[in-house]
Chain A
Amino acid sequence: MTLRRRFIPYALLTPGALWLIIFFLIPMYFMGEMALRSGALETGGFTFTWEWSNFSEALDGRGEQIVRTFFYTGTATVLALLIAYPLAYAIALKAGRWKLLLLFAVIAPFFTTYLIRTIAWKTILADPSPVVDLLKTLQVVPEDGRVLATGGDVIAGLTYNFMPFMILPIYASLERIDLSLIEAAKDLYASAREAFLRVTLPLTAPGIVAGVLLTFIPAFGDYVNAALLGGTNQAMIGNKIQSLYLVERDYPEAAALSFLMMAAVLITVLIYIRLAGTEAFMGDEDEED
């Protein structure tokens, strides 16, 4: 490879990498430093003391929230995938000239603020509402139960609010599919289901992986859904971090818990990528020349 050729990827990479290093990594370094401090605001500030105990303290008694966060986030991701894929499929492959319109129509509600979207949902799902009555008749909700302020509601909130993150990558990769490939499969006597499973699905694997990651990763650290839609036993790790930082003002523990949380997410992501296949995540293209 010529020198100039070798230079290209770095040239492409630099603006983004620089931006992230300066405005993300360096602040994170400060956060990391904070995670090793001890003290309190009121008693003279935080001093750097290699306080590794912050990390163990952060995990102390938080097991329930950690498990719960995995559960909520995992369920929400799966649900989002199940809802998003057929929708994206229908838009990308069946909507013809209307697909752009439908795509925007589906994403545009997310230009309004989270808060009013959530209030709208809460209005629909309020205890005395006909919708909830319907759900009770359908046995989805127990007779003496409710929808709001439950774990189910938090999951529903996470699912809904992360739908764009799931739909868009899947749409992007579905849209790319050459319909003639599917036709070819059918000509070769594949049933519709087989054509889907063996042609469409693998081709859209990168989109699915991207969607899953874009949903799971940020949802894991989310706190708003649990705060507004949850009751008294639905807090996620994000809520704990929020409360540690703002209310208890224990910046070191908040920072420590955040790093631990990030580590947990990254490990989960690594495992998932191994399972889904690294090509689907990173691509394995080589620039041949």
Chain B
Amino acid sequence: MSEKLRLRALLTALAVLAGALALAACGGDAGDDDEEEVQVAEAGPAQGKLVISNWPGYIDTGPNGSVAEFEEKTGVDVDYIEDVNDNAQFFGKLQPQLQNGESGDRSIFVVTDWMAKQMYDLGYVQEINRDDVATVFENLAPQFQTSNLDPDRKYSIPWQSGMTGIWVDTSKAPDIRTVNDLFDPKYKGQVTMLTEMRDTVPLVMKADGIDPTEASKEDWLAAIDKIKEAADSGQIRRFTGNDYTEDLTSGNAVASIGWSGDAYLIGNKNAEWRMPTEGCMLWTDNMVIPVGAPNTGAALEWMNFTYEPNVQADIAAFVNYVTPVAGVQEILRKRDPALGNNQLIFPSEDFTANCTAQVNPPGETEDVQEVTEAFEDVVSG
């Protein structure tokens, strides 16, 4: 390029850059963090439009399902979107709006414990006044009255709960009973673990006798090292989301860390979910009300509605995970004894005696970041 052209090109580039800067200045800051008190969701009449973001398969959205029932009962127009399929993905997509104090039109999100807490800590979520959700707290089953991460239930209302344990192909690996069995070399390359750090790492710690609620950062890092070794040696085939079900179906894997409610996704009649001898991890997906949520009155009404035992019975029958509402088991026992007595849907206290509810890695933000990074490095290869 001749000197003159080069100069011109440079000037053009600078002009574009200047223009961009000007626009950026006009647009204002990319959201400032104010230190304000946490908002409390306002109660109000249930009317108008309600937008809910939930995980897929968590309610019957059909014409005879619970959503339709709510609409009929209250006259609220519900836009029920099943777009939460991964906590991190959902957060990533909503974060710019939440930072600006907007909720993307949504009045309720349903996210897992740790994500709910993170949103709360970042000021993205409103608190909920107990008086506004009386039905909820009346019917909330005892073991859900508090949680490790939201001890006073200030902002999260459980939607459904589940257990993370081990799925085993009993025809090929009948003797797998604890997470440590997954490290057995005879199953090399046929074992998968979850990409969800708060499921995988605590389970590995528990198998070595460490209580996740009291583990130190070093414990977490040591467990991650153990997992890393297994990943590098090829013992662990891969880290999965819920696509471990594919591996179990096709025979690629004989054992996977996985979730209790995924039975119908696994087309392998020999696969069964096992409670590890050291106990499982309990997680809960919770309803939260984001900042800037329109129509919080309807949102609170929805929460009350879904906690009525009859309604919840429909939901539990549809979902097949663990319901947080008391009194549902009796109702379902009458409707469908097989369902009502299913340990995976209504686990007894004994069954979950050794289980631990979800926790975060300990320490300050930097410590959590360190642990997260270490695990991510292992998981993403």
Contacts and interface: CB of A to CB of B under 8 A. Distances in A.
A–B: direct contact at CB < 8 Å: yes
B251 A21 contact: no
Interface string B19-56: 01101100000111100000000000000000000000
A234 B251 CA distance: 21
B122 A41 contact: yes
Given A44-B33, A247-B376, A232 B365 contact: no
B176 to A, nearest CB: 18
B369 interface: yes
B215 interface: no
B89 A246 contact: yes
10 contacts: A29-B20, A41-B122, A126-B251, A127-B252, A230-B238, A232-B381, A233-B381, A234-B381, A235-B380, A246-B89
A45 interface: yes
A249 B236 CA distance: 26
B20 A239 contact: no
Given A44-B33, A231-B234, 5 more contacts: A42-B121, A42-B122, A231-B238, A243-B380, A247-B376
A248 B372 contact: yes
A128 B381 contact: no
Interface of A: 21, 25-26, 29-30, 33, 40-45, 61, 65, 119, 122-123, 126-129, 146, 148-149, 226-228, 230-235, 239-240, 242-243, 245-250
B88 A232 contact: no
What secondary structure prevails in chain B residues at the interface with A? helix
Interface string B246-260: 100011100000000
Contacts of A243: 376, 379-380
A282 to B, nearest CB: 13
A65 B95 CA distance: 28
Contact of B239 (A43, A232, A248): A232
Nearest to B252: A127
B238 A123 contact: no
B12 to A, nearest CB: 11
Contact of A122 (B30, B32, B91, B250): B250
A246 B92 contact: yes
A243 B372 CA distance: 10
